[in-house]
Structure 1
Amino acid sequence: MSLRTTPSVDYVEDVSPGSGVLPPRAWYASSDARSLSLNGRWRFRLSATAGAEDDSFAEEGHDAGTWAEVTVPGHWVLQGDGAFGSPIYTSHLYPFPVDPPYVPTENPTGDHLRVFDLPSDWPSDGGAVLRFDGVESCARVWLNGTELGEFKGSRLAHEFAVGELLKPGRNVLAVRVHQWSAGSYLEDQDQWWLPGIFRDVTLLHRPAGGVGDFFVHASYDHTTGEGTLRVDSDVAGRVTVPALDIDVATGEPVTVAVEPWTAETPRLYDGVLATDGERVPLRIGFRTVALEDGLIKVNGKAILFRGVNRHEWHPEKGRALDLETMREDVLLMKRHNLNAVRTSHYPPHPAFLDLCDEYGLWVIDECDLETHGFTEQDWRDNPVDDDRWTPALLDRAARMVERDKNHPSIVFWSLGNEAGTGRGLTAMAEWIHGRDPERLVHYEGDWNCRDTDVYSRMYAFHDEVEKIGRQLDGGTRKRRELPFIQCEYAHAMGNGPGGLADYQELFETYDRLQGGFVWEWIDHGVRHAELGYAYGGDFGEELHDGNFVCDGLVFPDRTPSPGLIEYKKVIEPVRIEGDGADGTVHVTNKQDFADLSALAFEWSCQVDGETVESGSLAVPALAPGESAEVKLPEPPADGRGGERQWTVRALLADDTSWAAKGHVVAWGQFAVGARPLPSFPATDRPVPEGNRITLGPARFDARTGALLSIGGVEVGATPRLDVWRATTDNDDGAEWQTDTRFGVLWRTLGLHRMRHRLVSVEAGDDALTVHTRVAPAAREAGLDTVYRWTSDGERLRLRVSVTPEGDWTVPLPRLGVRFGLPQADVVEWFGGGPGEAYPDTATASMVGRWRSTVDGLQTPYVRPQENGARADVRWVELGGLRVEGEPEFWFTARRWTTEQLDAARHRTDLTAGDTVWVNLDHGLHGIGSQSCGPGPLPQYFLKAEPAEFSFVFSTTR
């Protein structure tokens, strides 16, 4: 009788970074050396534990014909229709017991097999390297039955020397991947836990005398206009840059006149590093990063980050991104005026950094390190303060720096994210400073700035940011002398973020404030056949953080959200302001390096939102920071007495690598005169007719005063006071916030279940007056509400007067009227558009004539919530009705009630009904970003105070 022994899996819980791997080196593509992609379909077997199967699958001749298949790059939990397990989302909680370095016995383990044929012309000289660009979280590797080693560090590259193991013809690569390992304790980023080989696997030929590792040093002297190039190489060779007539030996500096690289002007010079055995193409950008005068400077100038945090994400493939998806990200960023990206919270696929070099983005490259879950035990046993883990931390730092060191776009190395503080971080900072003193070091958790070159915070409120800008924030002297950035701010979860313009005003007011990075780029929704997009908890996770994983400026399919449209406007690189009275436009170049020669300007004049004339506008090629006043032509005279305004746009004058000629970069609007308000005499009087009252074109219920119809348009539900909205993620706030989570406070007060008590219905000589009191059950506070209806025979005016009663301690979600129409589809309006806006998200709302459908008005947030409001509406037409407002109003229309929207958890929960529900709002509460950051600023509160507003109804049929 024989006993089956469990294979050794001690390496899984070993705190070391691994064994058998080669030292890290720069990532590059060789023009001479062969490569063979091993991406594609792999045989796959899933086991429940790390030691469930022996290692015989790695032996030559093993029959894996009955195994399943998965695609590499990929995550096995996103393949197989659920047969291979499910994704897990936690924001910071470890989904296993915190018992470092141990992980549960229940440890999903995927055995991968790839049989490949070595090409017959594969070179026989030199050696070969097997490269893994990303495996989560621990991998053990065999080639042709020989074990190569094992490694941890999921978002980092690892290589093995395999030249002596390759065979002509058939070769077998075996990889065992464990979901959990000691390395998992260092990878507690706010994202899905997704095991698998999710980046490229490549076999690289390394010719004899070929290039090994090299470091491109390309500085720029802004005082002389010269750049100094030196390429340090492990293998001696020569460096040539034809455009600069450079031909020098490696290690030898050369200084020549150059055009510098910046995010605005990403000039790259093509060069070649040639050794005896290999030629490697170089893309060289000359720039100097320095900390001078307490500021982050590039090429001698302080820069302002208009940035975003970017997780790698695809709704079907997870973190397995292809080149075109990465390019799409960069192009969208450039087209929306972003100039910087923080690679939260790990180094990205190296091809993404090539794109940042090419198109121009400042980069904070962040190490694959986060131990956030240790907050649950007050950081006890935190690996970054435990010397046993320091080799693993240094390995992660080295693999980031060595791989990415030749990218001019990278201006900061970041030690990681939310890992507390400790000796391991200090060791990382010291190593990075020593290896690459030409860049700066970032880490948000180091508030005393012991190890960092910048004071970095996340989600600091506006008032604190202003104190920091004024250097009134206290802290150590070193910290006060450093520049400040918000590495995360303006949490873009659901509807929002609000307050972007207020932050940007602070950044542009105080030199010390050098901008920030919105959290984050994309919603991490997982495409789901039944739910549309799934989020935390939709896969049965025992611990999860819900839709907190959906907090991006673009939706999962990369459609820009209203938040991105708003951000583009807030950070536009040209400020266009004007005075409609004297026809003067004030133009300011807000760029750091480029003048305005790449832009063309045009003006247009609108009357009641329709353009009546347009033309080009001559604006000087202003240098960065310069301003000019430009005169507009005389306003066209067309005989109409409507509302007039100017719109001035800055457009790309020619095609660029990232957008076509005519792409709108910036715009400004300003009124020529005041808007004429709707008015008419109340000439008709209410006429009782049995159980109905007729007033002009309208019929009312005589008992309740409810509006039944206007002209031939039936009203499904009478206009009545509405103060509730389906709470947004930012209304609801974060669970660790206790005092100002307005969504919670509103529900506690009962604003989602208001009751209406009819006080009186009075048909007077010139008006129908309906008096009600609106209040929540169990509460004393209420809203005394009077509806006054008048008519001139053809039109109908509703004047609403609201007086709060009792003790109102919280602002209102909204204040306006809601009513129902049985039929409506096409919507036209004159006001803000084309997209949604709220009081603190309305910078991008452009006044004009707009057209949509009811369905087109909806914003498809992954978790349904309040959305779709249009701002500054003068009039709107839908369902046969025209509604004019005094003053301007907020307009919303949808095919479900607010209550149905509030109850929905996925878009598929919403079913269109027979009624279109319309909200005409006098006011809305601000949005803020309290899902993780601050709530709305006080000026965006909708206070419960006396208010009066009116609407004029008429028919369009």
Structure 2
Amino acid sequence: MTVSAWYEALSPCPAARPARAWCDSDAETLSLDGLWRFRFAGRADGPTDFAATEFDDAAWTDLPVPAHWQLHGHGAPAYTNTRYPFPLDPPRVPDENPTGDYRRVFDLPTGWAAGRTLLRLGGVDSAARIWLNGTEVGQTTGSRLVTEFDVTDLLRSGAPNVLAIRVVQWSAGSYLEDQDMWWLSGIFRGVDLVARPAEDALDDVTVRAGYDHRTGAGTLRVTASAPARVRVPELGVDAAAGEFVTLQHVEPWSAESPRLYDATVSSGTETVRLRVGFRTVAITDGLLTVNGQPLLFNGVNRHEFHPDRGRALTEEDMLADVLLMKQHNINAVRTSHYPPHPRFLELCDEYGLWVVDECDLETHGFWLAEWRGNPADDARWEQLCVDRMRRMVERDKNHPSIVLWSLGNESGSGRNLAAMARWTREHDPSRPLLYERDWSCRDVDVYSRMYLTVADVEAIGRAAEAPLADAALDARRRAMPFIHAEYAHAMGNGPGNLREYQDLYEKYPRLQGGFVWEWIDHGLRASTADGQEFYAYGGDFGEIEHDGNFVADGLLFPDRTPSPGLLDLKKVFEPVRMSADGDGLRVANHYGVRDLAHLEFRWLLEADGQEVARGVLDVPDVTAGASVRVTLPLLPQTRGEAFVTVRAVLAADEPWAKAGQEVAWSQLAVAADPIPPAPARLRVHSSADGIQVGPGLFDARDGRLRHLGGFAVAGPTLQVWRAPTDNDRAPHGEALEPVWRSLGLDHLRHRVDAVEVADEALVVRTRVAPVGTDLALLATYTWTALGDDRLGLAVAVEPVGPWACPLPMLGVLFGLPDTLTGVEWFGRGPGESYPDTGLANRVGRFYRTVTDLQTPYVFPQENGRRAAVRWATVTDGQGAGVRVSGPAPFGLTVRPWRTEALDRAAHPTDLRPDGHTWLTLDAGHHGIGSASCGPGVLPAYLLPAAPARLDLELHVLGQGDAG
């Protein structure tokens, strides 16, 4: 008979205390965080003699708690998305089971007043066995869940205590924790001793605080595990625990106005402090509502992550996340795919975020085995699954920010999910249930899906989705609100198409928004041999099985710097919309409950990117859901292309940002740039040195530009290839990169067919083609001299043959001296833009260095393009350089390396300046999309191989002539 190890048990530890709310109590707590003694082993069956109080651990090392041992030199991190890094044989795990033994010696504080003492473990990955003073206490499972043990009889006063814990990396619980993140082990949340009074201990407190949006009344009932008084001084409440209290008027809690009331629950021996938010969650007429108002989730999926600490977050990390979400118009967070640290939920209550709290459950890797043996549908696993749901709900039940419980993620369907749903409905009917992977919605209250196309989402909005085979289930599902659990995969450059999704969410009431995947790149800080820092991803630690940089798919870079994608998302989520309305401005309030009195509307008039005038608009108060027309001030006359930009900013400090923080903006064109008369053309001259066209000297043999004024030039050449984005590579979508590479777009061949010199023009005819095919692009360059320092270029491109795929991009590439390192432009900025991204950018005049123009994606790829450029200068800091302009806006990319180097790089540290400043001017780019995990580029943003033209003027700038 096979005997399973303790960490392969399929039932919760009977010694663990019942799950309860996470409470802020005045009873004493002793933190055991800090440096512990630590020993690492490759197996879990080593001797347990280290649990003895007299064991000598002098040969061990120190390890901080909380922490992951892999991030402190013991073993190595590993990343997989779905595939388990061990054989599927549930609940058994391999003998090769990395194990950490921990020891902590501590003394009880003098006067430790406890009738009972609990040992609380906030989070241990993945299972642990605990001893105190040589006696076994129990075991844990459920890595992101609290476990408590009563250790009263094992503690010693007046003598040192020895806490010993063995933590294994693999356990039965690992089969429930396949959650698309780094496999990291250890005691990664806090360890505490919690004193409990001898009598009337408030071991558990449950808050039910409702709000009637029709009358403004609130209801409050606080139950406790002992007789107690409930007091809310601000509301005049002084009632017995368990008593139902009706309040004639309260201010409700919402993510926009997170009103909290301070309360206490006192038993005489213990006082628990609460922050109560009054709100009622309901599904009414097929819509998810809070306080009678339908919700629209402008949300993100959030893993807990730090590039140095993994999932061992500090309060500062958690607060940084909440503040960044609020500052970028995010109003909701799904805690993918486990309950977060309790402090994060407290911050969501305080600052205002809707929360979908998700159970610590995912069995996605069983998909690769066609769901055979899936624990979510195996009766042997019911206790563990329900236990995980129970522990989450009981711990987090008092948070007003939580409006939905999630049963977990990507675990197929099955009986144990149904059991989890039954238990939750019996114990907390105040919140609906969500679970995405069972599309029949048999056990939940909202319909949820992942990564649907825009067309599929619209069909659901119209209740026109494909029917289920079961008519009753189909009717039930059609009556549910829809929430897009994951969409717009934010991997690398992107995501694209954000506006199209948001437009649908706002058009169809049934579509109640969703959650972008995901909040932060999980790049672990690492260094090259010569000390250059980079962020590591899957495979960088020698893993055999890994999913590469798929772990770097966030809106934040690992150091919590916002990516261009987050800036776009802020624009899409704006709660205020401003648009032209005749000669005025229409201001629409898209908040759910808040008016616009907290905002100031500032306007700025610019001509050709230079400020002309500014002021503040007088905007009357606008209630939620309403709009108003505002008269614009009489604007002064301008020369050149002029825009008015109106910014809605905070009028006063808010808890999450200072006054002046931009919430929304809009830009209105008020004057077009007049078309200048065509300049006279100068003659073209041929000599022994080459062909002289104004400031340009060309090679007579191939027609290439060799010098522009005093600057050596390489090119131009037709540029079609871009370093593929993660969405082009599309590991879980429709990939274009292999199509492009198989066609040979990454190594086109160039041929000059003719160099024709006329009196006023140099015409160079070329054929650019992939090998092994008769497809080609005929590019004709027409050069004209517009003055001694100005050169005209017209590039006409004509495709040959039946091109079956879109082009990555289409432009011309110039190599300039690397002394030209400053770039100023008039166009969209300041950030990068592609056809379906760059929503955060407005037209203006901007300056960046060449280095600053590069977007540091964890995996190098196409980046840094500026769109709708009217003119740009590339200069040396002293005013010398090149100015490029055109009658029509163009795309601009400036790099210190070629696209081919960017294509080859695996990390940013692989990129080295090559002695040139490479200037790409494009007539078009393929869109970005979200195909790394989801839909590709929408038809409107494809770049077909079609006739194209790019007209440019190159102006040689002298010292002090950079404008």
**TM-score after normalising by structure 1:** 0.97
CA, structure 1 residues 678+933, in 2 after alignment: closer, same or farther (shift >3 Å)?
A: farther
Q: State the match for 1:224 in structure 2.
A: 215
Instruction: Provide the C-alpha distance between the structure 2 equivalents of 1:493 and 1:678, rounded to a whole number of angstroms.
Output: 43
List per-residue Cα deviations over 1:93-127 (Å, max 9, x = no partner): 0000001111000001111000111111211x411
TM superposition shift of 1:792: 2.0
Q: Distance in 2 between matches of 1:677 and 1:149?
A: 81
Given that 2:640 and 2:672 are in contact with CA atoms closer than 8 Å, whether structure 1 keeps it comes out as no
Which consecutive residues of structure 2, in runs of 5 or more, have no partner in the other structure?
A: 468-473, 876-880, 959-963
Match of 1:78 in 2: 71
**Partner SS, residue 277 of structure 1:** coil
Is 1:167 the counterpart of 2:184? The answer is: no
The one-character-per-residue Cα deviations of 1:591-647 (angstroms, maximum 9, x if unpaired) are 10101011110111110011210000011221111011111111212xx52001110
Q: C-alpha deviations, 1:714-755, integer Å up to 9, x for none?
A: 21x112211110000001112x54xx4111211111111011
- Give the aligned partner of residue 575 of structure 2: 573
* 1:552-579 superposed Cα distances (whole Å, 9 cap, x missing partner): 0000000000000000001111001125
CA distance in 1, matches of 2:260, 2:545: 47
Structure 2 SS opposite 1:856:
coil
User: Per the alignment, in what secondary structure is the counterpart of residue 152 of structure 2?
Assistant: coil
| Distance in structure 2 (CA, Å) of the matches to 1:420 and 1:595 | 43
> What do you get for the CA RMSD once the two structures are aligned?
1.2
Q: What secondary structure, in the 3-state scheme, does the structure 2 residue paired with 1:672 have?
A: strand
Using the alignment, how far apart are the partners of 1:142 and 1:803 within structure 2? 77
Alignment partner, residue 62 of structure 1 = 55
CA–CA distance in 2 between the matches of 1:792 and 1:552? 48
1:320 paired with 2:312, answer yes
Q: CA deviation at 1:13?
A: 1.3
Aligned to 2:603: 603
- Equivalent of 2:770, from 773, 776, 781? 776
Q: What residue in structure 1 maps to residue 44 of structure 2? A: 50
**Superposition pairs for residues 166-565 of structure 1, below 5 Å?**
166-168=155-157, 169-208=159-198, 209-256=200-247, 257-475=249-467, 476-530=474-528, 532-565=534-567
> In structure 2, what is the equivalent of residue 898 of structure 1?
899
Identity across aligned pairs (percent)?
A: 57
Rounded to whole Å, the distance in 2 between the matches of 1:215 and 1:157 is 17
Report the counterpart of residue 916 of structure 2 in structure 1: 915
The equivalent residue for 1:814 is 809
Rounded to whole Å, the distance in 2 between the matches of 1:912 and 1:929 is 30
Secondary structure at 1:444 match in 2: coil
Deviation at 1:682, TM superposition (A): 4.1
Distance change >3 Å, CA 797–CA 884, structure 1 → 2 = same
CA distance in 1, matches of 2:951, 2:86: 58
Matched position secondary structure for 1:760: strand
Whether the 8 Å CA contact 2:332–2:355 is kept in 1: the answer is yes
How far 1:677 sits from its partner (Å)? 4.2
Q: Which whole-Å deviations, capped at 9, do the CAs of 1:4-28 have from their partners, x for residues lacking one?
A: xxx9972111112323110100001
Q: Residues 679 and 789 from structure 1, CA distance in 2 versus in 1: closer, same or farther, beyond 3 angstroms?
A: farther
Task: Return the match for 2:747 from 742, 749, 753.
Answer: 753
**Distance between the aligned counterparts of 1:774 and 1:886, measured in 2?**
26
Q: Structure 2 counterpart of 1:224, which letter? A: T
| Number of positions where the alignment pairs a residue of Structure 1 with one of Structure 2 | 937
- Asked if structure 1 preserves the Cα contact closer than 8 Å seen for 2:329 and 2:575, the reply is yes
Aligned to 2:724: 727
CA contact (8 A) 1:682 1:790 kept: no
- 1:314, 1:556 within 8 Å by CA — same for their partners in 2? yes
Given that 1:44 and 1:69 are in contact with CA atoms closer than 8 Å, whether structure 2 keeps it comes out as yes
Deviations 1:371-420 (A, max 9, x none): 00001111011111111100000100000000000000000000000000
Q: Among 835, 838, 847, which residue is 1:839 paired with?
A: 835
Residue matched to 2:586: 586
The SS at the match of 2:320 is helix
Q: What is the rounded CA distance, in whole Å, between the counterparts of 1:487 and 1:677 in structure 2? A: 49
Query: Hey, what does 1:148 align to over in structure 2?
Result: 137
- Structure 1 window deviating more from structure 2 (615-624 vs 91-100): it is 615-624
Map of 1:838-857 to 2, 5 A cutoff? 838-857=834-853
Counterparts of 1:376 and 1:677, CA distance in 2: 61
Preserved CA contact (<8 Å) 1:678 1:885: no
Report the secondary structure of 1:388's partner residue.
helix
- Separation of aligned partners in 2, 1:117 and 1:746: 66
Instruction: Tell me the amino acid that sits aligned with residue 766 of structure 1.
Output: E
| Structure 2 CA distance for aligned equivalents of residues 59 and 405 of structure 1 | 39
One-letter amino acid of the structure 2 residue matched with residue 122 of structure 1: W
Deviation at 1:711, TM superposition (A): 2.0
Q: Does the 8 Å contact 1:188/1:373 carry over to 2?
A: yes
Partners in 2 of 1:233 and 1:945 — Cα distance? 72
User: 1:791: which partner in 2?
Assistant: 785
Superposition map of 1:799-810 within 5 A: 799-810=794-805
Contact (CA 8 Å) 1:686, 1:765: kept in 2 or not?
yes
TM-score scaled by structure 2?
0.96
The alpha carbon displacement at 1:443 in A equals 0.1
Cα distance in 2 between the residues matched to 1:422 and 1:268 = 39
CA displacement 1:20-69 (0-9 Å, x = unmatched): 110100001212x1111101111111111110x21111011111011011
State the 1:691 CA deviation: 3.9
**3-state DSSP class of the match of 2:901?**
helix
Q: CA deviation at 1:870?
A: 0.6
Aligned to 1:847, what secondary structure does the other structure show? strand
Question: Match of 1:464, SS?
Answer: helix
The code of the aligned residue for 1:347 comes to P
Distance 1:139 1:414, change over 3 A: same
Q: Distance in 2 between matches of 1:474 and 1:705?
A: 59
Residue 99 (1) aligns with residue 89 (2):
yes
> Once the two structures are superposed, what CA deviation does each residue of 1:262-303 show, in whole Å capped at 9, x if it has no partner?
000000000101112101111000000000010000000101
Amino acid at match of 1:92: T
- Paired residue secondary structure (1:120): coil
Q: Distance in 2 between matches of 1:342 and 1:481?
A: 23
Contact 1:303-1:514 within 8 A present in 2 as well? yes
CA–CA separation in structure 2 for the residues paired with 1:319 and 1:883: 48
Please give the alpha-carbon distance, in whole angstroms, between the structure 1 residues aligned to 2:679 and 2:613. Answer: 35
Indicate conservation of the 8 Å contact 1:9/1:50, yes or no. Answer: no
Give the residue type in structure 1 aligned to 2:943: L
Matched, 1:116 2:106: yes
Aligned in 2, Cα 1:679/1:47: closer, same or farther, shift over 3 Å?
farther
Task: Measure, in 1, the Cα distance between the counterparts of 2:563 and 2:675.
Answer: 33
| CA deviation after TM superposition for structure 1 residue 699, in Å | 1.1
Shift of 1:431: 0.7
Q: Which residue of 1 aligns with 2:878?
A: none
